[in-house]
């Protein structure tokens, strides 16, 4: 037991997990070495929302530029 390979995953406290790794795996049963661990295949909740897609970034940049121009115009009118 003492010479078996260790999990090595980071715990919440920042330390390294010292539990033994599952047979044939690199992680222990609590950190993904168990069967059927992880998200199910075809998980609908795991889809991306597109906030960091290039078109979303470009749209937010245009809105920010428009607001900057509006603030500049308001500053000049005062």
Is residue 75 assigned to a domain?
yes
The C-alpha angle 64, 69, 70, rounded to 5 degrees, equals 95
Is residue 41 assigned to a domain?
no
Total domains, the chain: 2
Per-residue pLDDT of the chain (78 residues; tens, 9 = 90+): 678 899 989 988 999 999 999 888 889 988 888 887 766 777 777 667 777 888 889 999 999 999 999 999 999 998
* Residue 72, pLDDT score: 97
Task: Record the pTM.
Answer: 0.44
CA distance linking residue 55 with residue 21, whole number of Å:
43
Host domain of residue 63: 50-78
Is residue 42 assigned to a domain?
no
């Amino acid at each position: 037991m003492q010479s078996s390979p260790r999990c090595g995953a980071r715990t919440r406290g920042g330390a390294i997990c010292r539990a033994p790794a599952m047979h044939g795996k690199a992680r222990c049963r609590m950190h993904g070495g168990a069967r059927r661990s992880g998200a199910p295949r075809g998980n609908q909740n795991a889809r991306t929302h597109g906030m960091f897609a290039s078109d979303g970034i470009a749209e937010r940049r245009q809105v920010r530029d428009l607001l900057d121009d509006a603030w500049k115009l308001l500053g000049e009118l005062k």
